[in-house]
Structure 1
């Protein structure tokens, strides 16, 4: 790499002088630009993009006023403080340093909607539109004092090479969706629905849920749905009916046909889940034996070409879910290590994990960071934080992106989980943001705003207190937003769920955080035309 010295700068300035240019007039100041990402009337999502000028920035602070009557309760990718109508945003430790010409964005939710711009905007004390210096006047604009003369000014030494770029590339994001084996029954949802909805073209990976872990071994969850159910021509992905004597039918054969039609899709067999995580405790006692059983099942010659790897959905290592595990903080790491060793470097090994961002919570009791080198990615289940499992409330969104005033439990929000994982050393590019294609709701509610009391779970099609988005969008349309997600109040019921609009906001967050993409539970909750998957796909671009 060619070194640039002070002498080089002087020579360059001399060459420019005859053209009426010099270092002072050629310098470009830093700027900060506001834009409204989405507006739903009762609220809005805003974004500010900070762009370094000719000089690199070692830190940034954006401040502005809002018109009377508007407020910003929460922000991400910046620390927020406010005084009256004046708001100040300061960089996080990982996104303060910007190379010359580089950009970074931070976002926030506000209310009510209708904001067209901010007032009195300043970046590092100067006007956000770049009129006036953004560095002290004693500092030459072309020679940032933090950059030694022998270091090219476009590479600030304060940024370690392992820090991910503040503006990740738009391509390469993962869009991962769960397909449930039991969906073929009452829900009448089949692999072909991924084609007719237009979703197959948008998905990058499918998680097939679930295999069992009974006895510390991987085993079939539902043999009939998995590989025995016969499909008629109209139900089949390729329009060809199953025959009585073919060696493989069911979902596995339909997934094989899907992969043939959409070769970009990878399929991962997920084991465990809420109901079948009990076997992981015994698996942790002999990880090698568990891994061997899983490999033999996933790579069974009858369907080895269907699956591209294995997913562990352990709820929860060294903590309690449906059952309690006390295998110790190293158990998860040891199981993942054994799976990687048995499946090899070319298979996908992934994990769905707790998203408990509270201090001393479920993230803190297992060594997720110790396992990350053996995982392709990790999926914090950033949903089900609140629901009618607390029958009397208070009402609260089950999948808040950020905290908000009055949230029932500190740390129960997506951002808290993401930041905790990142603080433990897990790369942002190996974290996926979770989206629920369903809502959770209460009945006997008299208060439209969050925080109300209830008498129990609202009725649902398959489960009390739980309903698909495709039903809720018309049954109980969204009437407000809180913490970056939506809620609806109707006929004494209070439901929280994500909409295409709030998903757009969450995908903006995912991109600003440099996350590897997003995943969701689960495909049958979407509309017949796949509007939620479309929202994720568009939001990740």
Structure 2
């Protein structure tokens, strides 16, 4: 064990104890068979965004920065949902039409006009061929494409039609307009990102019926995914991306019932605070700060979220934490206490900028041992940044191990440095 890791032990043991809890009496155990994640069954998941290719971040870059060899899973974000309640491509050019040149392709061979499949999907297939243990999972929905979920989930017929379309396209590989089975064998599972049941999200329809309907939707997915797995001799992963907000969105979830259908939850432990607020704070702190001036229902931390999920019937090994590869930032922050917990005039232009951008911005980096977080403050511009670094990600990885959690996901892989500083830190701490 390194000196660095030993120095963190007291802090992280305390975090593990705080987060640990016994499942609620009578809480049913999950019926989903555990996926063979490798690495001691820990998962390390990286989200690859559909649109990153337009800014020059390609699947082949996951080889160069080491992510493909260090992660257990790549989640492709996102599949859209059509107005008639079916899985559909939100950008067919990026997904399966764009021809990659030889210098862009994972295998170094240019796409041709006669091949059955091109685009990101084909590059993911090539990546999987090069790294056979790497799973590829399709994430469905997300912030921008969750508007149809409430309607879809409201009837058994709607749920079944939607699920059938997702399974047929991504697990059986039948992409509309392409040859039957053109995408078969690429995806190893489905990840459902409904943002959020009984919450408006991006001005979406919602209502209290969403709570049981989401449970029913995931049960329908589990049954269909299992059937497809039996037919294809696979165990397909089924996960859901869920809110960390124990004061609101997480309360809308029937957690013990959902846990029965899911391999694990990807809990989105990020965006605790950001530039939409008028006070600086941490966006993804591991530990709570008793001196945080936020109102009681605005005090967030990862260990509080984990405690909530465990207290409400989710086993620790069904909890995976999401880590941001981007920053939140404020401007107009006075030079008091190096900008921490100070008022701001608004979001900085660098709000939500990638780590590989923010790490090079001016300012002094400060470490807060109470929350196991860092921040950067530039007094010249009055800019405050909250983000994760290799140090804080390593601390989160050690906590995940000590608390017996399933692992971590990261949003998103194009935010890392070219040498994979963040992913290296995560992988080194997890296994």
Task: State the TM-score bracket (shorter-chain normalisation).
Answer: 0.7 to 0.9
Q: TM (normalized to structure 1)? A: 0.68
The partner residue of 1:336 within 218, 223, 230 is 218
> Which structure shows the bigger proportion of residues in helix conformation?
2
RMSD across aligned positions (CA): 2.3
Rounded to whole Å, the distance in 2 between the matches of 1:236 and 1:377 is 32
Match of 1:399 in 2: 284
The answer to whether structure 1 residue 47 and structure 2 residue 6 are counterparts is no
Contact 2:20 2:310 in 1 (8 A): no
**1:56-205 correspondence to structure 2 within 5 Å:** 75-78=14-17, 94=22, 171-185=40-54, 187-205=55-73
Rounded to whole Å, the distance in 2 between the matches of 1:388 and 1:196 is 33
Structure 1 residue 343: Cα displacement: 1.7
- 2:48 alignment partner, SS class: strand
**1:283-432 correspondence to structure 2 within 5 Å:** 283-285=152-154, 286-298=158-170, 299=172, 300=174, 301-322=181-202, 323-326=204-207, 327-344=209-226, 346-358=235-247, 361-390=248-277, 393-404=278-289, 405-406=291-292, 408=294, 409-432=297-320
Q: TM (normalized to structure 2)? A: 0.85
Structure 1 residue 48: Cα displacement: 7.3
Give unpaired runs (5+ residues) of structure 2.
24-28, 30-37, 175-180, 230-234
- 1:306 alignment partner, SS class: coil
Q: Deviations over 1:121-171 (max 9, x none)?
A: xxxxxxxxxxxxxxxxxxxxxxxxxxxxxxxxxxxxxxxxx9xxxxxx972
Q: Which has the larger radius of gyration?
A: 1
* Paired residue total: 388
Structure 1 residue 478: Cα displacement: 5.5
- 1:438 alignment partner, SS class: coil
Structure 1 residue 332: Cα displacement: 1.4
Q: Deviations over 1:409-458 (max 9, x none)?
A: 44522111111111111111111111000001011111324211111211
Contact 2:12 2:395 in 1 (8 A): no
Match of 1:115 in 2: none
- 2:93 alignment partner, SS class: helix
- 1:76 alignment partner, SS class: helix
- 1:191 alignment partner, SS class: coil
Q: Which has the higher contact order (CA 8 A, sep 6+)?
A: 2
Give unpaired runs (5+ residues) of structure 1.
1-34, 51-74, 80-90, 96-161, 163-168
Contact 2:22 2:310 in 1 (8 A): no
Rounded to whole Å, the distance in 2 between the matches of 1:249 and 1:292 is 24
Match of 2:126 in 1: 257
Contact 1:331 1:366 in 2 (8 A): no
Rounded to whole Å, the distance in 1 between the matches of 2:59 and 2:352 is 23
